[in-house]
Every structure is written in C-alpha cells, then in structure tokens.
Chains A and B, each alone.
Chain A
C-alpha cells in the first residue's frame, strides 16, 4: 500500500505542470547522498526513491548520471562528498576526470580517477531509478515542440495505462492543440479508465475507445469482452471491437492502395526515361541504371555542398538537387549519344552492347571516385515523417512526394511531346527520319535532345530514390531500381 502511495505521489509530481514541487535545496539532501554513497542496499534504494520523488529535474539528472555510472564519491576532510564525472582525459599514466557537484553541477576541478570511488548502480538501484526517469522523459516529451514526439509519448502512456497518470493526462489534454496528439491522449485516458474499478466507467471507456477507433485497445477490449463481469460491459466491448475492426479494414485497404500507388510511381519514374529512349529511338539503354546512380550521387554532392557552405538552409538542398541531378544525367546522356551511340543507330545489338559497356565504365568510375561503400544522403526534414490522414493511417512524406513527382513528370512529358513544337519534331523523326530530315528537321539534334531528356529523367529518378533506398555505385542491381525486366 505504501509502495502504491509512493508511486502515485511520484507520478503526480512527475506529471504535474511545474514538477518542481518541494525540492530540497542541496543542503537538506546531504544525508540522502551520504546514504547513497555508503549506505546499505536498502538505504541506497530509499535514498534514490526520496530523490526521485522530489521531481526536481536536477536530482533526476543526478539519478540519470547514477544509472550511466558517472556518479562517484570522494572523501575530503572526513566528509564523503558525492560528485558527477564529466569528461575524462589522460596525463601520463594517470587518468584524470573533471568533476561537478551533485546538485548544482558546479565544476569542482579536475582530479585523478584513482581518488574517486564509483557509486555503482546495481540492477536493483537501476530498477528503482527507471520509473522516475521514464516519467521525467515522458513529461519532457509531452512538452516537446514536435507533435510526433508528443504523440509517441501519449501512446506510451496509453500502453502503460497507469491510473496515477490520469490527472496529468487530463491536464495535458486540456492544453493540447494538435488533433493527433489529442487523439492519442484521449485514447490513453480511455485505456486507463478501462481498468477502473467502476463497471459503468469501464463500459463508458470501452464505448469511447470504439468511438476513437483505437487499434491500440484491441487486446484490452478483447479481454474485457471475454471476461467482464457485467453484460453491459461485454456488449460495449464487443460493439467497440466491431467498430474498430471495420475501421481497420478500411485503413488497411487504403494503406495497401497507397503502397501500390507508391510502388507504381517509383517504377514509372524509373521507366519513363527508358521508355522514351526506347520508344522513340529504338535504343535499348543498358546504362539507364547508372544514369540514375549519377543523379543520386549528384544529390549527395549537392547535399555536401550545402553542408559546407550553407548549413543553415540544409533542408533546401533537395530542391536544388532535383534540377542538378536532371542536368548532370542529361549532360552525360547527350555526351554518350553524340559521342558514340549516334554512330550505331539501327543496329540494336551493337547499341545494347555499347550502352552496357558505358554502364560498366560509369559504375567503376563512381566506385573509384566515391569509394565502394554507400554514401549517406540525409532526408530533409520536410520529407521525413508522415502525414496522419486518419486514425491508423499515416502516409510517409517521401512517398507522397515521389507520387507527386511521378505525376508531374508524366504530365510534363505528355505536354512536351504532344503540345509543343519540339515534341512534334521528336515524333516526326521517330515516324519517318528521312522525310523529316528532308523537311528541314535537324534529326541529329532531335536525337541528342531526346536521349538527353531520357537520361535527365533517369537522373531525376535517382535523385528521388535517395529518399527511399541507398546510394551506392551498384545502385542498379538493388531491387528497388529494377527498371529492367530481370
């Protein structure tokens, strides 16, 4: 009973708005610290509990340091003092460490490690520390600026379903503005009430969870539906389950449709350039995968340039990388076409062999220049995370972006080929090269532009794919870049 009371008090202190409560100033805690350093196992645990119950962030920080093994004791003038270790260094054979006072974290200078005795946190002590630090962590997360962090904290509270947390959740709920965090908080609250001693309240909580379409509550509701004492509860739980089930079916279907659309858009992006080159020029471009890799590496280079020159606007690098990737790949494509491919038009086998050779050269070149290991392309913040559409369905931004990009690319290609003069010339050369040349179309230039366009689209695809897969010299062989039919 006492333990329960302690837990309740602790959670209240932890979840209360200010949280500071009645913190003992450094002096009052001295006996506790002495217990911590030299006491028996029971005294040590009691000391940790007492420090944790203060809810004072500074004491909690000390407990965190204790768990990490950074708390030491030293004896000076017959008094034992508890200190926190900071950065370590070595001078000659001696290991030195910078130490700070336990509460105020005032620097106490640098001392030899040998002069300190570690206040070891054994398993029992770590277990005693954990709830305080967890509560502190959740409290911090519930105040985080990022709604995704707040939402995760709320979901965690729901999983724990600890009755002591309910008042804190209600207070947070009243002040919360984000719709999805509110939903997670309401869900957590209902999950807590689902274990209430009052049957009517349990039934109400079950109904509420049904209204919330809470996937997280399915297991708890199933237990209630099977084992609850009153028929009202069982009925409420069963109804809620039915509701959640129907909702889950809906979200799962939508999710599957979205996944299909996302996969299709990736394939479209990859295949579009290939199709243009093959369809219009009858050249099977085996180097398409490498042109994509070039686009991906251009993205990497642009990112590094931003990191070095304009770290503040790093998030914008991707917008710059898109056209750069297009242009780099298009330039290589045009060079390839003007340099060699144009000499082999009408000989499909030879162009196949030739582009395959080009692909090997590009691949090895990338390996020589950037190394064999994959390089890391960070996702800009605006492409990380997802858009919560409805309860149980979050659509990742990077995939939404690629679907959008694929749609724009397809529409732009259509407009270019069927709505502009250049497109007309491309189609004319495709249908009858000799006749178009007779009529004054520069067939050679049209070939170069078309090939460059196809290559540029490959570069664009490569840039977009950095947000989903890896960037490495052998990118073409990895499964998501299956722009070929094997």
Chain B
C-alpha cells in the first residue's frame, strides 16, 4: 500500500488538471512516445456484497501486473494500475468505468463480476471504444466488440456438467432439479439447461425449476421437495445458488438425510475462494463444474498457486498464505497476460489494434494452454468436473478432451444466432 502525502496529492491534482487542459491540444503521439507507464484500470468491487469474491480478482490482477513490471513491463513501459472501487453498486460501475476511460485514459480495464455490473458498463465501453477483460463464467447471449470474455460460456460449463451427470460414468442421472438464486445468470443458465435436457430426451416432468432470493437462509421446505423429487433415485440437483445461501442449503440437505451418493448437487457458482469461509463438512462429495481448480496438477499451476500465496503474504492481504486460487482468478490472471501479448504483437496500446491482435492469441495459463477465439471475443478453455474435498479443494473427476470452443449463443436456445467480429459485425443470423 502506498501512502500519499498531501503534497503528492496536490502535485497529482495539478498535473492532472494541467494534463486535462493541455491534453486536448497536444498530439496524443507525444505521450505515447515518452517512456511513461501504461495505465490500466482495475474495476472490481472492494466493498459491499460482492467484495467477498471481487477483492481476490483485484489481488490477482495486481500480482500479474507486478510480475510483468518485474520483467521490464510492456514495450519497455511499466504498467501502472488505476484501482477504483465501484462498491457493488451497479450504477457506480458505469460511473467508474467512465472515469477510467475518459479521465485516467487507461489502455484497458480488467473488471466486473456479476452480469448486471457488466451490463451496466457495456454502453460506456462501447460508446468510448474502451477495452474490458471480463473474467467470470456467465450466461452468454452477449457479443460485444469492446469486451473479451475470459470466463466460460454456457457450453463450456453448464452443458458439459449436465452431460457428465447423464453419462454412465457420471452416474446416469435422469431427473434434474434446477435450483438457483433469482437473478439473470441462474435464470438464463436454467433456460439453457432445460432446453439442453429436453433436447436430450428428458421429459418435462423430470425437470423441476426453483429460485430463491439473494441471502436466502431457510431451505427446509425446498430440501423437503428435493427429497420427494429424488425418492425414485436417478435424480441430481443443478445448483446456481450464489453467495452465502450455499452454506444453509448444503447443511439442510445433509441434515434431512440426502447424500451425494444418491442425489449429488452439481454447483456452478461454488469455487475454492467461496469455500474458504464455509464449514465444508456438509459439502464433501458434491460436484462443481469449472475450467480451472487450484488442484490442477501442472508445474505452471504449482508456480501460480505458490506465487499468489507469497504475494498475499508479502502484501499483507487478509488471509495471507492461506489464500487460495480459483477459476475466475485464473481467468483474470491470464487476461492480463493475453492483453500484454497482444500489445507486444501490435507494438501499440491502441484499442482497435490490440483487439485484432488478441484474436487467436495463445497463452500457457496455470490451468493449461488456453486460446482466444479468432472471431468471437471468447476463450477456448478446458472443462473440468470436480468433487469437493474436506479441505475445500476439488478432486478432478472428469476433464474435457482438449479445449472447448466458446459459444456465446447457445445452440439449444438460440440456434440461429452466432457471434463473429471478423466476417460479421458481432451477433449475426445464421443462414438456415
């Protein structure tokens, strides 16, 4: 943490003021030629409800920046992160994004977690031609020229998970209880899951769908319903429950005598970082679907996990070396590196040039090699199904063969739509 004195602040404000007045007239090129640092924005909530998840993303982005700076920066220029706090307030996200793009003139922004915050900043990035790297799995149905999505689309998380449960290897489940928190991601996710299950021949009366509000705590009625639903066997729960509702849900599930052997819960929003604050005893044996786990056993990942723990300790972050890494953190981390590679390829930080350079960019991420799509702004990723262990880590029980291409428009709900920024202008209608 840097401590600013009042004098620094005054100097900074004066410089910023001068820059604002002078910047209009001066040719931009001057600023680019100087060995000034490149400014990058970090737009994650550091307070409010989402802070629990988003603070870790800020930490890992700053760690990536530090790594890059230690190796000499990008194009010989250091990276200078501008960290702002949108405070889990969706309107504030748009405001802070505007500030980053117009006032701080950052070259790129790494940020957002919830879909509603991304939707809130989207017009800002599109109107001002900014560049956002968004690191969280999401519901798809979006294809913006100004956003790179390094998290999973439904076909890289939801569909493989359902497929796994239906397979002989996964237990051959035939009935599915779709349970989620009531907001856009679970609603869209369940729409896609339902369409997929129906397409695979699951009858409508073998699918139940239910939503609870954020922070819901009392799951006794719902678990009672699941128990009756699962009584014939062959039933699994697909859970998009978010945040701290998970603890009471899993506890009640275990207490009413349901066990992962007979009715497993496949979770799409429970990762290592969330498990840190939970008593995991009731969750052991249940499943999750992600594209990365801390337990991925590669030399790069061991290095990454160690580096992050060391970084957390060095920076005196809460949790210190007991901190863990998870899927969105990995996606945020390699997002920074992808952007760096693209800048080095074009030798400029200009958004349009960088955007084109990102297409097809490859990087050996902690979880294995990933690749940016050539046209649709999403990421080729592996899909991993993990089983929750007592220590809050995951045992990987199934992995996809190679990398899976991202489909922002699910073939099950929007078979006629595609996303392409090379041959088309974003979302387009596929010809029949």
Binding site for B on A (CB under 8 A): 68, 88, 90, 95, 123, 126-127, 130, 141, 148-149, 151-153, 155-156, 158-159, 215-220, 248, 252, 255, 259, 262-263, 371-379, 384-386, 388, 394, 396-399, 468-470, 472, 477-480
Contact = CB atoms under 8 A, between A and B. Distances in A.
B262 A477 contact: no
B254 A374 contact: no
Interface string B207-246: 0000001011110110010001001111000000000100
A68 B399 CA distance: 11
A216 B318 contact: no
B172 to A, nearest CB: 10
Contacts of B251: 379, 398, 468
Interface string B36-58: 00000000000100011000000
A238 B326 CA distance: 52
Contacts of A478: 215, 217, 244
30 contacts: A90-B302, A127-B169, A149-B259, A156-B262, A159-B233, A159-B262, A216-B233, A218-B232, A219-B233, A252-B228, A259-B220, A263-B218, A263-B220, A372-B47, A375-B277, A378-B279, A379-B281, A384-B281, A384-B282, A399-B220, A468-B251, A469-B217, A469-B248, A470-B217, A470-B244, A470-B248, A472-B244, A478-B244, A479-B216, A480-B218
Contact of A152 (B51, B262, B282): B262
Contacts of B247: 374, 376, 469-470
A443 to B, nearest CB: 40
Contacts of A158: 233
Interface of B: 47, 51-52, 168-169, 213, 215-218, 220-221, 224, 228, 231-234, 244, 247-248, 251-252, 254-257, 259, 261-262, 276-279, 281-282, 297, 299, 302, 318, 395
Nearest to A244: B231
A398 B217 CA distance: 14
Secondary structure at chain B's binding surface: helix, strand, loop or mixed? loop
Among A219, A248, A376, the most chain B Cβ lie within 10 Å of the Cβ of A376
B262 A386 contact: no
Contact of B257 (A216, A394, A468): A394
A131 to B, nearest CB: 10
Among B52, B216, B231, B262, the most chain A Cβ lie within 10 Å of the Cβ of B231
Contacts of B228: 215, 248, 252
Contacts of A252: 228
Nearest to B230: A216
Contacts of B217: 468-470, 478-480
Given A216-B231, A384-B255, A468-B217, A156 B281 contact: no
Given A148-B259, A372-B51, A398-B251, 6 more contacts: A155-B262, A376-B277, A386-B256, A398-B255, A469-B218, A478-B215
Given A215-B231, A478-B217, A373 B279 contact: no
Question: Across chains A and B, which 4 residue pairs bring their CB atoms closest together, nearest first?
Answer: A159-B233, A396-B255, A219-B232, A480-B217
Nearest to B275: A376
A216 B224 CA distance: 15
Contacts of A153: 261
Contacts of B231: 215-216, 218
Nearest to A396: B255
B261 A479 contact: no
Contacts of A398: 251, 255
Contact of A156 (B215, B261, B277, B297): B261
Contacts of B215: 477-479
A240 B231 CA distance: 16
Contacts of A469: 217-218, 247-248
A468 B247 CA distance: 9
Nearest to B51: A372
Contacts of A90: 299, 302
Contacts of B213: 479
Contacts of B234: 159
B262 A373 contact: no
Among A149, A153, A155, A259, the most chain B Cβ lie within 10 Å of the Cβ of A155
Nearest to A67: B397
A192 to B, nearest CB: 13
B333 to A, nearest CB: 20
B168 A394 contact: no
Contacts of B282: 379, 384
A470 B252 CA distance: 13
Contacts of B297: 88
Nearest to B245: A470
A386 B255 contact: yes
Contacts of A220: 232
Contacts of B277: 373-376
A374 B244 contact: yes
A255 B228 CA distance: 12
Contacts of B216: 479
B218 A468 contact: yes
Given A377-B279, A469-B217, A372 B259 contact: no
A150 B50 CA distance: 40
A388 B257 contact: yes
Contacts of A375: 277
B256 A123 contact: no
Contacts of A376: 247, 277-279
A210 to B, nearest CB: 15
A384 B278 CA distance: 15
A215 B256 CA distance: 15
Contacts of B220: 259, 262-263, 396, 399
B244 to A, nearest CB: 5
Contact of B318 (A123, A371, A480): A371
Contacts of B168: 127, 130
A376 B257 CA distance: 22
Nearest to A465: B217
Among A151, A158, A478, the most chain B Cβ lie within 10 Å of the Cβ of A478
Nearest to B246: A470
B224 A385 contact: no
Contacts of A218: 231-232
A374 B217 CA distance: 13
B299 A152 contact: no
A370 to B, nearest CB: 10
A399 B169 CA distance: 37
A139 to B, nearest CB: 13
B281 A378 contact: yes
Contacts of B248: 468-470, 480
Given A152-B262, A218-B232, A384-B281, A95 B299 contact: yes
Contacts of A151: 257
B53 to A, nearest CB: 10
A259 B221 contact: yes
A466 to B, nearest CB: 10
Contacts of B257: 148, 151, 385-386, 388, 394
Contacts of B281: 378-379, 384
B261 A152 contact: yes
A360 to B, nearest CB: 15
A442 B61 CA distance: 62
